[in-house]
């Protein structure tokens, strides 16, 4: 049995949308079921499960949808004993599916073995697990050394509990009602790790394949700015200086005592306050050197790079087991810069940098800022009152211009600091608004980039680029594949760059991929007004895409 979950994207929730499993022959579900039937899959074994979430372009909406989807997976897992789960997700629905898988894998042991974490029953659960393992019910992937270690730990704990009987280390109000049994609780950790190994098997987690349509995945790359690194280094040094100073001077005093009890070095004194300044200097240098060495050795490690919606930090042990064996097959169907969401979001760093630069230039203070006063209304221009008034204005403006010129260095420093601060605030707000990420994503510690393909070691990842397929779609009579030839033709890209207004405005981008971003933005701007989302919404209405999904679900790798 194949359960195919259809998940819509941002603003895609509708009663007549593509993800509803209607009986109409032109619907997405009907076309996909037909394509699966042509590949020897019994249509009666395929059940489409439409999944709706709010569709809002916020991080909280996606998290809420992911939690709901994870609960539905656990529910259906009990209803269909041998079903395999497949996911077809459009746009940000792919991010919802990723987060749902993370929650699902985290909660699976709790849902499948509910008594496993109840203190009164965990001994019985552990004994039953060891018996099932001895009977061959469970099989594990490498590393076998770790499995053997967990088995010994579980067996030893059980033996210790049986030997001690009721004389165990417990916290209780009365002898009959223990609040916490420490030896029983020690069974929890190896048992959880065992079931993580159990659920790395496809027959247990049941996740078959994940297909994403034009999803802008958010990759989080961790970094520290130079200022943050310097502050971190200074804090470490300052915290270690007292420790190293005390330890080094204790060594000096002990060395002086040992030397003084010998008949050859009787001149060494024992009062540190009477020491010569050179001895203090030597001790201080060694203290600072020791503090710097300690600071380097204690430098905090940054988290590993991760996807925002499949956070390895939430299931670290599980991910470590999954890396060599893969969780499931994953297909990213994308159209590069022909996809509006990816085109705009991936170009955000370039555009935000350009906006910040233009903002700084527009507000840059001028060294000499003087304008001749205009003529006064109500007076004859050559009359004495008009001349005196005009000369007074001229002197006032000249004095102000001279004061600004003298203060120009200070004004320039304030300008640099203020524009950088304002640009950072604006950039953060745009980032939250555009990406739909939580506001507390600090730009100092991490940078979030948009990727069209999700490459992770625990997914068997494949990619299907349908750019050429979607490029021939006609838009209000303006079309032709040559419009998007620059996406795969470097010669055409060079020709388009020469005529690009954006490239001339933004200066020199960093590489050819940035050129493609900017030219794509210009080309897509011709379609955005009145036809927003045309190609982004054509994934689930395209026969090439549907056949590619059918190939992937049945074990093949689709090729355009």
> Does residue 532 have a pLDDT over 50?
no
Residue where the block lists tokens 């009986």 = 23
Written as six digits, the tokens of 481 are 């594949």
Q: State the pLDDT at residue 90.
A: 93
Q: Average pLDDT over the chain, rounded to whole?
A: 78
What angle in degrees, to the nearest 10, is found between the helix axes of 188-198 and 144-164? Answer: 140
Mean pLDDT for 121-137 is 80
Which pair of structure tokens corresponds to residue 148? 């053997």
Tell me what the mean pLDDT of segment 284-305 comes to: 70
Q: In terms of pLDDT, which residue wins out, 488 or 227?
A: 488
Whether residue 115 is predicted with pLDDT greater than 60 in this model: the reply is no
The band of 491, judged by pLDDT with boundaries at 50, 70 and 90, is: confident
Given this model, what pLDDT does residue 193 score?
81
CA distance 252 to 42: 84
Q: Is the pLDDT of residue 382 over 70?
A: no
More confident residue, 371 or 182: 371
Assess whether pLDDT exceeds 90 at residue 3. yes
Domain ranges of the chain: 1-120+199-222+306-339+452-473+535-560, 121-198, 226-297, 356-446, 477-531
Give 206 or 377, the one with higher predicted confidence. Answer: 206
- pLDDT on residue 369: 75
The CA distance from 242 to 224, in Å, is 27
User: Strand 177-181 and strand 170-174: pairing?
Assistant: antiparallel
Q: What is the mean pLDDT of residues 74-91?
A: 91
Q: Any idea what the Cα angle at residue 12 is, between residues 7 and 15, rounded to 5°? A: 90
Distance linking the first and last C-alpha atoms of the chain = 28
Classify 171 in phi/psi space as left (phi over 0), alpha (psi -120 to 50) or beta.
beta
3-state secondary structure (DSSP) of residue 460: strand
pLDDT score of 303 more than 50? yes
User: 82-86, 267-271, 361-365: lowest mean pLDDT where?
Assistant: 267-271
Element (H, E) at 307: strand 306-307
Beta bridge partner(s), residue 328: 459
- Is pLDDT larger for residue 145 or for residue 165? 145
521 pLDDT exceeds 50? yes
Check residue 179 and give its pLDDT.
42
Instruction: Decide if pLDDT at 178 tops 50.
Output: no
Question: Residues 319-343: what's their mean pLDDT?
Answer: 87
Q: Percent of the chain scored above 90 by pLDDT?
A: 19
**Structure tokens, 511:** 């590489």
Whole-number pLDDT of residue 547: 93
Average pLDDT of the segment spanning 547-557? 92
Beta-bridged to residue 475, according to DSSP, are 478
Band of pLDDT at residue 113, cut at 50, 70 and 90: low
pTM score: 0.73
pLDDT band for position 84 (cuts 50, 70, 90): very high
Residue 402, C-beta contacts closer than 8 angstroms, at least 6 positions apart: none
How confident is residue 549, by pLDDT bands cut at 50, 70 and 90?
very high
Burial group, residue 187, by CB count within 10 angstroms (0-12, 13-18, 19+) = buried
pLDDT of residue 332: 95
Q: Find, among 49, 44, 40, 137, the residue nearest to 85 by Cα.
A: 49
Look at 91-95, 165-169, 451-455 and tell me which has the smallest mean pLDDT: 165-169
Nearest Cα to Cα of residue 220 among 17, 22, 66, 435: 435
90, 214 contact by CB (below 8 A): yes
Fold assignment, 1-120+199-222+306-339+452-473+535-560: Rossmann fold (3.40.50)
- What is the pLDDT confidence band of residue 66, given thresholds at 50, 70 and 90? very high
Residues in CB range of 74: below 8 A, 6 or more apart: 104, 107, 108, 111
Q: In sequence order, what are the residues at sequence separation of 6 or more whose Cβ sits closer than 8 angstroms to the Cβ of residue 113?
A: 125, 195
Query: Looking at residue 92, what is its pLDDT?
Result: 92
The reply to whether omega before 75 is within 30° of 0 (cis) is no
Pairing type for strands 217-222 and 446-451 reads antiparallel
pLDDT at 173: 47
Alpha helices, H only, 375-528: 384-406, 408-435, 467-471, 490-498, 501-506, 512-528
Who contacts 445 (Cβ-Cβ below 8 Å, separation ≥6)? 222, 223, 224, 228, 302
Task: Say whether pLDDT at 487 is over 70.
Answer: yes
């Amino acid at each position: 049995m194949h359960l195919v979950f259809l998940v819509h994207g941002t603003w895609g929730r509708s009663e007549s949308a593509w993800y509803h499993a209607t009986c109409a022959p032109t619907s997405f579900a009907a076309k996909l079921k037909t394509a699966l039937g042509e590949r020897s899959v019994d249509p009666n074994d395929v059940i489409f499960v439409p999944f709706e979430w709010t569709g809002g372009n916020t991080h909280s909406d996606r998290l809420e949808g992911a939690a709901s989807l994870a609960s539905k997976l656990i529910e259906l897992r009990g209803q269909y004993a041998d079903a395999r789960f497949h996911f077809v997700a459009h746009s940000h629905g792919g991010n919802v599916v990723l987060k749902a898988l993370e929650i699902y894998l985290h909660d699976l042991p709790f849902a499948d073995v509910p008594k496993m974490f109840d203190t009164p029953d965990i001994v019985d659960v552990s004994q039953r697990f060891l018996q099932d393992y001895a009977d061959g019910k469970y099989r594990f992937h490498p590393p076998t050394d770790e499995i053997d270690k967990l088995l010994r730990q579980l067996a030893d704990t059980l033996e210790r509990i049986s030997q001690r009987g009721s004389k165990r280390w417990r916290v209780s109000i009365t002898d009959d009602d223990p609040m916490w049994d420490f030896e029983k609780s020690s069974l929890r950790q190896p048992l959880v790790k065992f079931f993580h190994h159990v659920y790395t098997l496809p027959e247990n987690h049941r996740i078959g394949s994940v297909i994403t349509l034009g999803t802008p995945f958010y990759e989080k790359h961790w970094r520290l700015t130079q200022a943050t690194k310097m502050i971190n280094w200074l804090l470490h040094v300052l915290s270690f200086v007292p420790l190293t100073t005390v330890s080094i001077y204790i060594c000096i005093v002990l060395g002086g005592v040992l030397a003084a009890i010998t008949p050859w070095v009787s001149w060494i004194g024992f009062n540190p306050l009477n020491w010569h300044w050179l001895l203090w200097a030597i001790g201080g240098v060694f203290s600072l050197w020791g503090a710097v060495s300690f600071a380097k050795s204690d430098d905090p490690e940054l988290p590993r790079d991760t996807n925002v919606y499949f956070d390895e930090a939430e299931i670290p042990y599980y991910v470590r087991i999954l890396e060599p064996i893969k969780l499931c097959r994953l297909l990213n169907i994308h159209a590069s810069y022909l996809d509006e969401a990816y085109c705009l979001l991936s170009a955000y760093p370039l555009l935000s940098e350009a906006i910040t630069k233009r903002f700084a230039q527009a507000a840059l203070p001028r060294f000499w800022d003087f304008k001749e006063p205009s003529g006064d209304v109500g007076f004859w221009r050559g009359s004495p009152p008009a001349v005196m008034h005009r000369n007074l204005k001229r002197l006032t403006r000249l004095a102000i211009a001279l004061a600004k010129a003298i203060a120009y260095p200070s004004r320039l420093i304030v300008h640099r600091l203020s524009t950088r601060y304002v640009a950072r605030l604006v950039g953060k707000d745009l980032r939250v608004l555009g990406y739909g990420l939580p506001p507390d994503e600090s730009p100092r510690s991490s940078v979030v980039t948009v990727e069209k393909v999700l490459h992770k070691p625990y997914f068997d990842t494949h990619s299907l680029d349908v750019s050429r397929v979607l490029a021939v779609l006609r838009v209000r009579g303006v079309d032709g594949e040559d419009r998007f030839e620059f996406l795969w033709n470097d010669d055409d890209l060079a020709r388009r760059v020469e005529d690009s207004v954006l490239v001339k405005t933004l200066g020199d981008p960093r590489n050819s991929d940035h050129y493609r971003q900017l030219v794509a933005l210009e080309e897509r701007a011709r379609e955005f007004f009145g036809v927003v989302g045309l190609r982004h919404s054509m994934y689930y209405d395209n026969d090439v895409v549907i056949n590619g999904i059918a190939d992937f679900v049945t074990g093949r790798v689709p090729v355009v």
